[in-house]
Amino acid sequence: MAFFEISDTHSLKSHHYDLRTTIAVEKNAVLFLYLRDDQVLYSATRFYAPEISDSEKKQLALNVHDFYKRQLAKLFYYTKKMRQNAIQDARVDLLARGYLKYGMAQEAIALLEPFVKKYSHFSTARATLGKAYFETGDFKTARVHFVQLLAGKSINAESCFYFGLCEYHLRNCSGAFRAFTRAIAINKRFGAAYFYLGLTLLLNFVI
């Protein structure tokens, strides 16, 4: 097995993000791991004909690395423009989702906290903020946002599911059970909700 590594650094204000793509090549397969500060943002396995050389596979990995670097650069650019023009609309939520997609939950929180305080009725932004807190492991704060969503008119399967995840990680099995059951009642094809409902039953048995 051959290994290649592509390393890079991208800066946003005082923050430096170490970007790295690790490529493992074995026979006719290549595994890409694209990481930011040691957190995997993207992984994939690609299969190739045996005659494709390692150098060609390395170039493909470099293309993957450059693509994700450009995506992050776009987020930084549009964030700067948004702040310069004091934009306060749905585009804030879209940018925050972009940060969340690339594993940058703290950046999403920094964008959305003041926005949600000012526009408390903006349910999609609150949902994104709740997910961002969840990704950082702050389940209590994430739960607060999903409670507010479920107390209003924005009751959907996803909000129920994330509320259930918060309850699950906080070891509140009864709350998690009700939330996952409610998510399934809204969307009977919500596979992840069935999965965590089963885990909740097991957790309840263990504790």
Specify the residue for token string 């023009």.
Answer: 85
**DSSP state, residue 83:** H
Per-residue pLDDT of 92-138, as tens digits, reads 999 999 989 887 888 899 999 999 999 988 999 999 999 999 999 99
Burial class (CB in 10 A: 0-12, 13-18, 19+), 65: buried
Q: Hey, what are 117's tokens?
A: 């305080």
Q: How far apart are CA 146 and CA 166, in angstroms?
A: 9
| In the predicted structure, residue 53 carries a pLDDT above the cut 50 | yes
Q: How far apart are CA 126 and CA 141, in angstroms?
A: 12
Per-residue pLDDT of 28-37, as tens digits, reads 665 666 666 6
For residue 162, CA distances in Å to 21, 99, 178 come to 31, 19, 12
Q: pLDDT value at position 109?
A: 95
Cβ(65)–Cβ(34) below 8 Å:
yes
Cβ(129)–Cβ(98) below 8 Å:
no
